[in-house]
Amino acid sequence: MNGSVEISQVREALRGVKDPGLGRDIISLGMVDDIEVEEGVVRFTLALTTLACPLKDEILKNAKEAVLALEGARQVEVNLREMKSEEKKRIWPSDDREELRKEVARLNRVERTLAVMSGKGGVGKSSVAAMLAVELRRAGKRVGVLDADITGPSIPKMFGLHEPPPVGPLGMLPAVTESGIRVISINLLLPNEDEAVIWRGPLISGAIQQFWGEVVWGELDALVVDLPPGTSDAALTVMQSIPLNGVLLVTSPQDLAGMVVRKAARMAAQLKVPLVGLVENMSYLTCPQCGERIEVFGPSRAMETADRLGLSLLAQLPLDPDLARRCDAGQVEEYENEVFQSLAARVMERASAVKSTPIFAKG
């Protein structure tokens, strides 16, 4: 063993590294084992609550940098493992966690929870969800956005959010946009926004349930839930775990999109979740020269789809390059179009006053 670096020094350096999700240092959490030092090479084992932890790379990077800052440390080798169940209980006893969930549930008072859903991707569902939140905020509402699209999150980029959300004594707090919209998304927890989330259904479902039950949302007039396209695990988890006041369906003029959105509608009906109405996005493009409405994707079939589902067609939204530019630039809150203002008002009017009854409610 090289005396230039002591194990006690390594331990003390790692005491300055925090697990952002738990808000405590990795030494006090018992996440560091088997520290060895040999000729300037420091080796240790880092035990994570789950190897699928989205903050894994950040914790690993910070730990290595902390040790390499020690005089005499020239290399750091880290083995990763997952904590055993008894270790997890030590850092977050089940009784304590349940008490925290109860306290969070007491603090979280959400008047309306609205899911935005599409049958297929590419219809602009997330931009509709973002603009719904923006217009509700402009109307003076206290608004949150829960990004349930775990494997394809886009909400943070639209709002220009890039920093991890803060952690309070009771749990994670939402990030806050410039206008005051509260946002939670898996992309805010990744080391970089291009990181792929390669998770199976149970992990995706668990993340969504944590976003709902363990994030301190506080008092909200409306929480907008951006669902991924389709009728798979994420949509099922939201409808079975979160009390919803309604689902807003988003489609586009193509007949294929209409066919698939009908599947989403039937899923909601089977799970006894109220449908607020239908929105046709990218319905037309307004010519900047003459003002003519051009049906880029062919004639609208929205009214036909709405009639088949027994729903109201709440809006036909334009294909607007300015909205796309602002979403890419993180400036969605600066976009204005009165059609979205009207849509937000109609959604709130039609959202059921009675929430759906979750099958697997937690917290």
Q: Which of 112-121, 250-259, 272-281 has the weakest average pLDDT? A: 250-259
Contact (CB, 8 A) for 125 and 234: no
> Could you give the CA distance from residue 339 to residue 97 in angstroms, rounded to a whole number?
44
pTM of the full structure: 0.74
Buried b (16+ CB within 10 A) or exposed e, 4-39: ebeeebbeebbeebbbbbbeeebbebebbeebebee
- For residues 244 and 124, the model is more confident at 244
Contact (CB, 8 A) for 51 and 60: no
What is the model's pLDDT at position 257?
67
Length of the chain equals 363
> Could you give the CA distance from residue 173 to residue 183 in angstroms, rounded to a whole number?
9
pLDDT at 1 over 50: no
Question: What is the mean pLDDT of the segment spanning 105-133?
Answer: 90
| Residue pLDDT, tens place only, 171-214 | 788 999 999 999 999 999 887 777 878 777 788 888 898 899 88
What is the model's pLDDT at position 141?
97
| Residue pLDDT, tens place only, 302-350 | 888 899 889 999 999 999 999 999 999 999 999 999 999 999 999 999 9
Q: Which of 39-48, 158-167, 336-345 has the weakest average pLDDT? A: 158-167
- For residues 57 and 93, the model is more confident at 57
Domains and CATH numbers, the chain: 7-91 (3.30.300.130), 102-350 (3.40.50.300)
pLDDT at 361 over 80: no
